[in-house]
Chain A
């Protein structure tokens, strides 16, 4: 059977190739996988794990981290105090159906279901508790209201004090994701997107905490994939074949039937089947 028996164009990438792509992505766009406060971003040696980045990141002044606000201490507002932290995804491994690379935890009901991918990610996070530095923070007098106003009378939050103990208390967890791939029409062109079905982080108790963390990671992965990791099909898989850009040519997914799963995740590969149409 030919690859294009039911379509005009076909592309497939296997899991070994995708894992190499993931590694390039993590080294060339580290700020997608490393989040920290400005202080940690300024002193990356304080992060839980050394960020493995390509030489071009430094050459072209790309960030290692996406900078986030410090973590506020709840109820502490006179003065407000917040803590430095970082969160990093340090390893990622993808397995396409049938599962043969990642041993899924029992909570995810292995084996990997048909037409799905599994992702194993190592997540590390750390917090600068800076307990020793808290003694130097003097409470404001009782008459000093913590909410101030600016010149226009609008409420203005006082920037928090961020004590720096210069040492993070770090931990790492293994997270597992099961998801599938879909093609959406985004910005006028068919675009490959990963969608998350279920997330599980092992070694966490009690059950409620585990559920909350799984839920947080589910939402994060789902939206991150949709916002930051989308791949226009003709560019990513078909090298922008020149004829696909000719006037009157439109590209669309091959329909079902005859292609039952498109994109398909099978035979340890991600496959995509495309038709092109000529004319209006």
Chain B
């Protein structure tokens, strides 16, 4: 039997979990290319909600955990095929040539579409984890110093209890059905921005040549499917944001932010600067943390 037993009810455990969950914020940027286009993204998310359940098999399960995308911005860049409008003769020279001709306007070349889907909410469908107690020794702690000296150097050893994910099941990110319209508008806006020197009279000619913009975009990017599915594939499979979420959550809970931690040896009486400057500290050994359907139970021995 252990010297010390501490238990936290499911309600208390939920509070502990919420605090750790609310501290998570992941920011990531990446870039790459896929077929005819290159991409870059900047994403940032945090977690909220979720229903927590403690299980008798020593696991904690969190379902329907919201992934709130504080930033979900990406850009795809590709080559707009070049073409020209105008240049033909308006008043021909009766002898030869042309007295007045329409200027020839040529456009084409690299173009980028910046898409901002910040505010979207996706979901971790299921997060299952067990509790793991770890002993952390500060690698910068000078060798041979006492625990008390280490504390004064702010390099105490720590007992830490982590939620160690066994699996994280992240649902693919859904994008709104209006994404096709959004992309089409972005495409039009991007063309107008890049070729802002084009005179007004030429735009009707250009739009007429380009035809339906969404079809053109699909042709350029080689999109054979529905544009909404394509964007979802882009985010989930090419950017691999599902894996980004899974990895970030697993690392965060398993090694970056413990459910709770305390220094070892643990101070039970403060020092009194005037007469007893040092605190009284108790070493803990064999810390273990488990859950059952009703509570978390932490046990430890007192060191000699």
Contacts and interface: CB of A to CB of B under 8 A. Distances in A.
6 contacts: A20-B282, A20-B303, A28-B281, A31-B276, A56-B278, A236-B268
Contact of A60 (B12, B148, B260): B148
A205 interface: no
Nearest to A236: B268
Interface of B: 1-9, 11-12, 15-16, 18-19, 146, 148-149, 260-262, 266, 268-269, 275-283, 292, 294-295, 297, 301-304
A55 B8 contact: no
B281 A24 contact: yes
B19 A2 contact: no
Interface of A: 2-5, 7-14, 16-17, 20-21, 24-25, 28-29, 31, 55-57, 59-63, 229, 231, 235-243, 246, 276
B297 A3 contact: yes
A3 B295 contact: yes
A63 B275 contact: yes
A126 B253 CA distance: 58
B42 to A, nearest CB: 30
Contacts of A61: 277
Contacts of A241: 8, 12, 16, 260
Given A9-B9, A16-B3, A17-B4, A28 B278 contact: yes
Given A2-B292, A13-B4, A59-B146, A243 B268 contact: no
A3 B8 CA distance: 8
Nearest to B159: A239
Contacts of B292: 2
Contacts of B280: 24-25, 28-29
B275 A243 contact: no
B295 A2 contact: yes
A273 to B, nearest CB: 10
A16 B303 CA distance: 11
Nearest to B275: A63
Given A24-B281, A28-B281, A8 B303 contact: no
Contact of A31 (B16, B19, B275, B297): B275
Given A8-B9, A239-B260, A246 B19 contact: yes
Contacts of B295: 2-4
A215 to B, nearest CB: 28
Nearest to A67: B275
A9 B275 CA distance: 35
A17 B302 contact: yes
A12 B4 contact: yes
Contacts of B261: 239
A11 B269 contact: no
Contacts of A276: 12, 15
A24 B297 contact: no
A69 to B, nearest CB: 16
Contact of A2 (B7, B276, B304): B7
Nearest to B277: A60
Nearest to B268: A236
A242 B12 CA distance: 11
Which 7 residue pairs spanning A and B have beta carbons closest together? Answer: A17-B3, A3-B7, A4-B9, A239-B262, A2-B294, A243-B15, A20-B302
A235 B268 CA distance: 8
A267 B282 CA distance: 23
A10 B6 contact: yes
Contact of B294 (A4, A55, A59): A4
Given A20-B3, A276-B12, 7 more contacts: A2-B292, A11-B5, A14-B1, A20-B303, A24-B282, A239-B261, A243-B12
Contact of B9 (A7, A237, A242): A7
A9 B268 contact: no
B34 to A, nearest CB: 43
A240 B159 CA distance: 13
B3 A13 contact: yes
Contacts of A21: 268, 282, 302
A149 B20 CA distance: 67
B4 A11 contact: yes
A22 to B, nearest CB: 10
Most buried by A among B6, B11, B279: B6
Contacts of B19: 242-243, 246
Given A21-B302, A25-B269, A56-B148, A62 B277 contact: yes
A229 B3 CA distance: 20
B146 A55 contact: yes
A62 B278 contact: yes
Contacts of B4: 11-14, 17
Contacts of B2: 14
